[in-house]
Amino acid sequence: MRVRVSLIILIQEKENPVRKRVVRIFSAVNPAPAVLFLWLLAGASFAAGQSAVLKLNALTDAQARAVGVRNVIVMIPDGMGSAHATVGRWYKFAKTGVNRLSFDDLACGMVRTYWSTGLITDSAPAASAMATGFKTSYGYIGLRPAKTAMPGLSELLKGEESTPVASVLEAARLQGRSTGLVVTCEFPHATPAGFSSHYVQRSAMDLLAEQQVYQGLDVVLGGGRRYLDPSARKDKEDLVKVLRDRGYAYVTDRASLLAAKPGKLWGVFAPTAMERDLDRDPRIEPSLTEMTRKALDTLNRNPKGFFLMVEGSQIDWGGHANDPIGTATEILAFDEAVQAVLDFARRDGDTAVLISADHSTGGMSIGTPEIGDMPVARFAEVVLKAKATPTKIAQRLTEGPAPSLDEAKGLIAGLLGISDLKTEEIAALAGPLKERSAKKLELELGHAVSRRVGIGWVFTGHGGEDVTFYCLHPRDLRIGGVIQNTDLAYYSARLLGANLGAVTGRLFAPAGRDFTARGAAVSIDAADPDNPVFQAVKGGHTLRLAVNKNLAELDDRIILLEGVVVCTAAIPGPSVMDPNTWFAPRAAIELLK
Ligand SMILES: [Zn+2]
């Protein structure tokens, strides 16, 4: 109680010089009236029992002790800026009559999203920042940056550039907690990979998937079957077999997901990404909420607790497509998943929930040069007519035999609900229809909807402005104010009682340097260029460490490691031969006596 009161005083002092003086006078005489006075001034938010937010680097001993929880759930609405959230909320109101998002009440800060050398981040460095506490380079997954050139970032020590750093998920796993990822993109896509893999290029999804499979996660649910399939993988490895051998239930449709028995679970419901929620066939693909519930159910059986990351992956793709329908319906799907998580967390009483986008997408505005205001009834009328996203409609219009312009107009009227296309809109569709360009068509269709509801878009890339931070803590010990994306990692580590630096030391020892220091002769066997092996020889013993796996081969004995072996060089490529690009769990190095 005393802690809460003093925090409130600090905030009030900052806000109002007159109050500050009054508080000082009261406090000097007797603290009690000052407190009472402040409670009266503080208004509804404090009266409702919300305390001021914490500063991570200034916790009192009591706060540091009380902040720890059993379970941490990080939820990422990829690409959701505040305009997107607002449009999502109005869509929810139009559809259900509920005029609030499930996470509205939890808003407590803004997140600065910039990356290691610029203002406008990509999902890979953003996820890496939220997972590891390091703002990093474009395309980087779970590594320190190649260089830093932004305020507040400390300079890299020589040799530290592009080296792997532990994620909060890995920290939780080493503590014996269960870990899980739930997404609707491909499971090795940038955001989930940022929490569970380490490599210089986000596009190397075959490689990232392999690390995830050997990472010892308990639950992985999403899209991306192709990345496990030997006929589609570049290295021809059968990762489904690996999963089965390691005791995972492997499921590929909604019914088998719902029926899966407790235990390790890997579910992939589409060859690549899953469908947008609005376009989803519920007989095949589960919803984000169903996957999240299943993950909670499975992970919560561990008495030591769990770490779970849930991503609303395709809100971002709605933004890239300048599509209000895809954006809003994906936010609605995310909103429902958050509700399921909050229901769990409040029931559990020992779970913290952190929600933040990685960046915004598309430069969305509510209001345009043509439309200065929009009645909610008109907004509802337009958006509720859409039965499919522009992305799906564009796909339908570009596969199979080419439709005539009239057939295309019919499909657009039926699925998007727009039957009053203007002459210039029809002209704009004709080109992409002829070219059979789904990308250009989805953009034209997205703009057709946007024009009718007063939504504007600046471009199809990411935005560099702050995004909203939402948080639930069972004892209300939340961080907030204007924070950094890296603070999500530091706060998560606090919640878990983990030291990320120590975990990095334990999981990613520099193999070239450390084996050499032990007197071993090191070399790289790249006979199979896609699967190079680090080799260390000492005293008649040979230790072989295959890349991206948690396996050590000591002479002819296989030993399971507590983390995966990482090579940060491009694979295949000449730098693979440099032992200094290899990292392995410290325990692997200690295997060579
Ligand atoms: Zn994006």
Q: Considering only 33-37, 123-127, 314-318, 533-537, which range has the smallest mean pLDDT?
A: 33-37
> What pLDDT is attached to residue 52?
77
Q: Which pLDDT does position 7 carry in this prediction? A: 38
> What's CA 48's distance to the chain center, in Å?
31
How many angstroms does the Cα of residue 287 sit away from the middle of ligand 1?
Answer: 21
CA of 122 from ligand 1 middle (Å) equals 7
Rounded distance from Cα 323 to ligand 1 centre (Å): 13
Would you say residue 38 lies in a domain?
A: yes
pLDDT of 133 over the 60 cut: yes
Q: What is the mean pLDDT of the chain?
A: 92
Contact 582, 592 (CB under 8 A): no
Q: How far is the CA of 356 from the centre of ligand 1 (A)?
A: 15
Cα of 316 from ligand 1 centre, angstroms: 5
- Indicate whether 348 pLDDT > 70: yes
- Work out the pLDDT band at 292, boundaries 50, 70, 90: very high
Ligand 1 center from residue 327 Cα (angstroms): 12
Q: How far is the CA of 144 from the centre of ligand 1 (A)?
A: 21
Catalytic one of 51, 102, 116, 123: 123
The answer to whether position 173 is within a domain reads: yes
Residue 515 makes CB contacts below 8 A (sequence gap 6+) with 522, 536, 538, 579, 589, 592
If DSSP states are collapsed to H, E and C, what string results for 145-209?
CCCCCCCCCCCCCCCCCCCECCCHHHHHHHCCCEEEEEEEEECCCHHHHHHHCCECCCCCHHHHH
Is there a single domain that holds both residue 16 and residue 129?
no
Q: Does residue 33 carry a pLDDT above 70?
A: no
Same domain, 358 and 331: yes
pTM score: 0.91
How remote is the CA of residue 195 from the centroid of ligand 1, in Å? Answer: 17
- Does the annotation mark 123 as catalytic? yes
How far does residue 461's CA lie from ligand 1's centre (Å)?
7
Q: How far is the CA of 240 from the centre of ligand 1 (A)?
A: 29
Q: Are residue 491 and residue 513 in the same domain, yes or no?
A: no
Q: Give the DSSP H or E segment for 17.
A: helix 17-29
- Read off the DSSP letter of residue 264: -
What integer is the mean pLDDT of 121-140?
96
Residues 527 and 488 placed together within one structural domain of the fold = no
CB 216 within 8 A of CB 550: yes
Q: What does the pLDDT average to over 381-393? A: 98
Measure the CA–CA gap between 73 and 471, rounded to whole angstroms: 10
Q: How far apart are CA 191 and CA 112, in angstroms?
A: 17
| pLDDT tens sequence across 56-113 | 888 898 998 899 999 999 999 999 999 999 999 999 999 999 999 999 999 999 999 9
Any domain includes 105: yes
Q: Would 63 be classed as within a structural domain?
A: no
Q: 419 and 405, same structural domain?
A: yes
CATH number of the CATH domain containing 91: 3.40.720.10
Q: Over pLDDT 90: what percentage of the chain? A: 87
Same domain, 202 and 249: yes
In a domain, 375, yes or no: no
What's the confidence (pLDDT) of residue 51?
58
End-to-end CA distance of the chain: 55
Among 30-39, 216-225, 393-402, 574-583, where is mean pLDDT lowest?
Answer: 30-39
Same domain, 500 and 514: no
The whole-number pLDDT of residue 154 equals 85
Looking at the chain, how many residues does it have?
A: 593
Residue 67 forms part of a structural domain: no
Which of these three, 505, 524, 541, is where a domain ends? 505
pLDDT, tens only, 420-469? 999 999 999 999 999 999 999 999 999 999 999 999 999 999 999 999 99
Residue 199 pairs with which residues in a beta bridge?
141
- Residue 19 confidence (pLDDT) above 50: no
Residue 48 has pLDDT above 80, yes or no: no
By the 10 Å C-beta count (0-12 exposed, 13-18 middle, 19+ buried), 459 is classed as: exposed
Distances (CA, A) of 582 to 198, 199, 239, 425, 510: 11, 11, 23, 54, 6
- Expressed as residue numbers, the domain containing 450 is 381-456
Residue type, 556: D
More confident residue, 521 or 26: 521
Q: Which two tokens stand for residue 332?
A: 């609605």
Percentage of residues in the chain having pLDDT higher than 70: 91
Q: Can you give the pLDDT at residue 152?
A: 85
Looking at residue 227, what DSSP letter applies? G
CA 462 / ligand 1 centre spacing (Å): 6
For every residue of 447-497, DSSP letters joined together read HHHHHHHTEEE--SSEE-S-EEEEEE-TT---B-EEEEHHHHHHHHHHHHT
In order of 177, 248, 250, 463, 540, the CA distances from 245 in angstroms are 22, 7, 11, 43, 32
How many A from CA of 583 to the centre of ligand 1? Answer: 29
- 565 and 418 in one domain? no
Residue with tokens 């009328």: 381
Going from the Cα of 330 to the center of ligand 1, the distance in angstroms, rounded, reads 14
For residues 157 and 291, which has the higher predicted lDDT (pLDDT)? 291
Q: Is 543's pLDDT higher than 60?
A: yes
Residue 426 belongs to some domain of the structure: yes
Q: Structural domain tally of the chain?
A: 4
Give the Å distance between the CA of 78 and the centre of ligand 1: 7
Indicate whether 210 and 273 sit together in one domain.
Answer: yes
396 and 385 share one domain: yes
Claim to verify: residue 181 and residue 89 sit in the same structural domain: yes
Q: Ligand 1 centroid vs 257 CA: distance in angstroms?
A: 28
CA 531 to chain CA mean position, Å: 28
In a domain, 60, yes or no: no
- Each residue's pLDDT tens digit, 474-499: 999 999 999 999 999 999 999 999 99
The answer to whether residues 214 and 297 belong to one domain is yes
Secondary structure in 3-state letters for 413-460: HHHHCCCCCCHHHHHHHHHHHHHCCHHHHHHHHHHHHHHHHCEEECCC
